[in-house]
């Protein structure tokens, strides 16, 4: 059993900590409150946090905070901890490598673990063509490098991305990202020659809103129009796509989508970049989400759960495409850090050994079943969707208009936290509750988390409309 956070001062402070502008004037009475005061004093407000919870230790799906309270962690550091916190094999691999050496720089003395990991990622990436691997430090850096490689390989400049996408916070990654707040907001100007088309978002697509079997293929007409009116296909270097949109709200596209996109790319000599940063490493019940449709990207991006929390990302692509940049054109001081590579190799061994893909499917199915039942009970639950363990529910104020229930989603997070469960949101309207629990979560922990979500939904649903309207402002 999770020891729920104590009622009273601690949990109240935690519940409001992220948004409480007066926190620095309060006297800290718990360890986490003291850190919260310092956080507000020394971190810029742009470094937002969902939760005023400060971890002391973590194991599997559980985190213990500095107050001694235990939480079930269903955010997993935003999809990073698929093998669970502090997996013994990962900890051992990190310790072993750190004791040998922590850095030499791949451009000076390439760590053998870099080469070994490059080989193993090339082997597990979907598709049969020979592949090569570049290692970098973050998802955004992988995105940036994929664009460089695609431009070098094709001699073309333009890139097509999707609305409601997220590709990272560096300037080029933001230029590709399809959400203004909080990502793009006032950070321009952005790189030119980037064009956005709609993603097939069944619950909100223009033609077939809400139809579970809709194709939502407006994107195809939009792409054809883009080729006619904005940029000719022969000047497009790449199309970058998330096989399931992550930050966009766990949008699972129709199964025809990726194959159709692949066909268009092949027909026009455009490279397909598959961004698996959030959907990869077992989250969807396959190692990579693109495997569900049998599509091979020319380049694919991996990060997050690749190295169980150590900063590491990869661009894996067709060998001749990856070799397009000249020697010295790719890399960086830290890319392929040996400690991070050792952690990633341990992660791959864990996937080979521990049946995490089956667990992902089982956890996802359990969550979907409960969430679908909530749809019948709580008007708030507008849509339930998912692939494998990449499961989410979209909250709405009104099932007919699908008005997003943004304040309700924020309140749900606070209610769940009070009961000992860490959740995070997603979506264009911040009204999607997504599950990113470690795949080692036990059936008992899953049931416990779903019970907490249900109680939290009941609590939010009971809030009078006027009070909720006040909370929204």
Ligand X SMILES: Cc1ncc(COP(=O)(O)O)c(C=O)c1O
CA distance 318 to 131: 4
Q: Residue with CB nearest ligand X?
A: 139
The phi and psi torsions of 27 (rounded to 5 degrees) equal -90, 130
**Does residue 275 touch ligand X according to CB under 6 A?**
yes
The residues in 122-151 that bind ligand X, with binding defined as CB under 6 A, are 138-140, 143
Burial group, residue 171, by CB count within 10 angstroms (0-12, 13-18, 19+): middle
Instruction: By CB under 6 A, name the one of 168, 249, 297, 336 that touches ligand X.
Output: 168
Helix or strand or coil: residue 459?
Answer: helix
Q: Transcribe 390-404 into DSSP letters.
A: EEEEEEEEETTTTEE
Choose the binding region for ligand X from 21-29, 178-186, 232-240, 275-283 (rule: CB under 6 A). Answer: 275-283
CA distance 356 to 376: 31
Q: Which of 345, 353, 294, 280 is nearest to 119 (CA)?
A: 345
Q: What is the closest distance, in whole angstroms, from the C-beta atom of residue 277 to ligand X in the complex?
A: 3
**Does residue 166 touch ligand X according to CB under 6 A?**
yes
Gyration radius of the chain's alpha carbons: 22
Q: What is the closest distance, in whole angstroms, from the C-beta atom of residue 335 to ligand X in the complex?
A: 13
Angle of helix 88-100 versus helix 338-354 axis, rounded to 10: 150
User: Which of 246-285 are b and which e, b meaning 16 or more Cβ less than 10 Å from the residue's Cβ?
Assistant: bbbbbbbbbeebbebbbebbeeeebbbbbbbbbbbbbbbb
**Does residue 303 touch ligand X according to CB under 6 A?**
yes
**Does residue 220 touch ligand X according to CB under 6 A?**
no
Choose the binding region for ligand X from 48-56, 204-212, 272-280, 440-448 (rule: CB under 6 A). Answer: 272-280
CA distance 260 to 166: 21
Query: Smaller CB distance to ligand X: residue 246 or 404?
Result: 246
Q: What is the closest distance, in whole angstroms, from the C-beta atom of residue 301 to ligand X in the complex?
A: 7
Query: Smaller CB distance to ligand X: residue 138 or 441?
Result: 138
**Does residue 257 touch ligand X according to CB under 6 A?**
no
**Does residue 431 touch ligand X according to CB under 6 A?**
no
Q: Which of 390, 443, 435, 428 is nearest to 413 (CA)?
A: 435
Query: Smaller CB distance to ligand X: residue 246 or 317?
Result: 246
**Does residue 394 touch ligand X according to CB under 6 A?**
no
**Does residue 277 touch ligand X according to CB under 6 A?**
yes
Choose the binding region for ligand X from 99-107, 161-169, 425-433, 436-444 (rule: CB under 6 A). Answer: 161-169
Contacting positions for ligand X (CB under 6 A)? 78, 138-140, 143, 166-168, 242, 246-247, 275, 277-278, 303
């Amino acid at each position: 059993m999770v020891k729920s956070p104590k009622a009273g001062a601690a949990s109240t402070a935690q519940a409001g900590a992220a948004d409480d502008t007066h926190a620095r004037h309060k006297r800290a009475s718990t360890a986490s409150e003291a850190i919260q005061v310092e956080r507000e004093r020394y971190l810029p407000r742009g470094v937002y946090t969902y939760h005023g919870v400060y971890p002391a230790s973590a194991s599997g799906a559980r985190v213990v905070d500095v107050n001694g309270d235990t939480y079930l962690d269903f955010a997993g550091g935003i999809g990073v901890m698929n093998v669970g916190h502090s997996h013994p094999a990962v900890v051992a691999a990190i310790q072993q490598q750190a004791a040998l050496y922590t850095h030499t720089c791949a451009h000076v003395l390439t760590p053998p673990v870099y080469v070994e990991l490059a080989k193993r990622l090339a082997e597990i990436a979907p598709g049969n063509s020979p592949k090569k691997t570049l290692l970098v430090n973050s998802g955004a850096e992988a995105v940036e490098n994929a664009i460089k490689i695609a431009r070098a390989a094709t001699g073309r400049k333009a890139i097509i991305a999707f609305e409601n996408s997220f590709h990272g916070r560096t300037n080029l990654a933001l230029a590709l990202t399809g959400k203004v707040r909080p990502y793009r907001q006032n950070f321009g100007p952005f790189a030119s020659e980037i064009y956005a088309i709609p993603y097939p978002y069944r619950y909100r697509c223009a033609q077939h809103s809400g139809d579970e079997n809709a194709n939502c293929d407006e994107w195809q007409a939009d792409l054809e129009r883009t080729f006619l009116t904005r940029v000719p296909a022969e000047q497009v270097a790449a199309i970058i796509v998330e096989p399931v949109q992550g930050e966009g709200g766990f949008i699972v596209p129709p199964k025809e989508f990726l194959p159709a996109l692949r066909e268009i790319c092949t027909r026009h000599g455009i490279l397909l970049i598959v961004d698996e940063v959030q959907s990869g490493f077992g989250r969807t019940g396959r190692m990579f989400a693109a495997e569900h449709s049998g599509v091979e990207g020319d380049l694919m991006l991996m990060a997050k759960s690749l190295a169980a929390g150590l900063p590491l990302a990869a661009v894996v692509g067709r060998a001749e495409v990856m070799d397009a940049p000249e020697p010295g054109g790719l890399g960086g001081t830290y890319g392929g850090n040996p400690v991070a590579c050792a952690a990633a190799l341990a992660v791959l061994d864990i996937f080979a050994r521990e049946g995490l893909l089956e667990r992902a499917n089982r956890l996802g199915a359990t969550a979907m079943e409960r969430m679908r039942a909530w749809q019948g009970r709580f008007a708030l639950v507008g849509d339930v969707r998912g692939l494998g363990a990449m499961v989410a529910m979209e909250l709405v104020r009104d099932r007919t208009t699908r008005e997003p229930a943004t304040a309700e989603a924020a309140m749900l997070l606070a209610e769940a936290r009070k009961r000992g469960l860490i959740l995070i949101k997603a979506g264009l309207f911040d009204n999607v509750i997504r599950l990113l629990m470690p795949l080692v979560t036990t059936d008992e922990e899953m049931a416990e988390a779903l019970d907490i979500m249900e109680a939290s939904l009941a609590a939010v649903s009971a809030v009078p409309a006027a009070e909720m309207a006040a909370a929204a402002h």
